[in-house]
Structure 1
């Protein structure tokens, strides 16, 4: 029995587009249209995963539209609405030194340079200027992801991000 591949969520099917089987995608990739660059995507409905072939895709307005080989018409596309889309980790390009995929940082502990525990990373917000970590413990904190200024060190092996941040903020 083979082990399940590690899948990273990259978006979801948010609607249909036209009558030829295209679907609207809410993409969590950066840039948003990067999701259209994968030749295959895993689609999750309930607990079941299905590997779909991406026939075509493109940016459309502020979103993305995709056509899967398996969706031949609008009815087939409608059946996918609400589904989650994922890629296998091994499909992702390697990162340069000091760069991280958000998925690798989710759940890491965050502490100040003085050792004060701020909580765990529960998400990120894109602001345009810089990304912001959402850190939750006794309350939610928003810490700018600015290396060298606020983010001092990332230790994936230890599951820790050290920050220069006032715990009262």
Structure 2
């Protein structure tokens, strides 16, 4: 199964480097030299091996093996990039999840659905899940709030702290 990890938003310089906008997790691992990614261009999936990765002005800049010129890569602006989820090399600790496992889950307070997780924000101290229902809620991923995550059933049960849902 392929997991979306970002989008090529532009080129950078003339040597084939691309700017990636990502909302993926573990970017240091995903964009490590030697990692295989796929670029979806129309109905075609084009495999690339990452040759280099660096961060510049909140964008991930990548080069690919065999690509040394802007003309070889420019046509892929706007294309989404994917990685094979079955090749995940990242060991997760207990109560750690990949973004794709959390995004799309329905969040419940007791038995009432609050909404679905649509985004994850990294704040440094803990992640914050953006949940959209009748309105938008910001749910901190902390033990005091998140009580149960069932990625197979795509459900999350929370006990909100006082004032969290106001």
TMscore range, shorter length = 0.7 to 0.9
CA contact (8 A) 1:118 1:137 kept: yes
CA distance in 1, matches of 2:24, 2:102: 15
Residue in 1 aligned with 2:100?
Answer: 103
Among candidates 9, 14, 29, match of residue 19 of structure 1: 14
SS in 1 for 2:47: strand
Shift of 1:168: 4.6
Determine helix, strand or coil for the equivalent of 1:9: strand
| Contact map agreement 2:6 2:82 (CA 8 A) in 1 | yes
Residue correspondence of structure 1 range 17-166 to structure 2 within 5 A:
17-30=12-25, 32-37=27-32, 38-92=34-88, 93-112=90-109, 114-146=110-142, 148-165=143-160
1:33–1:59 contact (8 Å) kept in structure 2: no
RMSD, aligned α-carbons: 2.2
Determine if contact 1:109/1:160 at 8 Å carries over to the other structure. yes
Work out the CA distance in 1 between the residues paired with 2:92 and 2:132: 27
Give the deviation of 1:70 after TM superposition: 4.6
Give unmatched runs, 5+ long, in structure 2.
Answer: none
Q: Deviation of residue 127 (structure 1)?
A: 2.5
Alpha carbons of 1:57 and 1:159: their partners in 2 closer, same or farther (altered >3 Å)? closer
Equivalent pair of 2:129/2:139 in contact (CA under 8 Å): yes
> Could you tell me how far apart the structure 2 residues matched to 1:36 and 1:117 are?
36
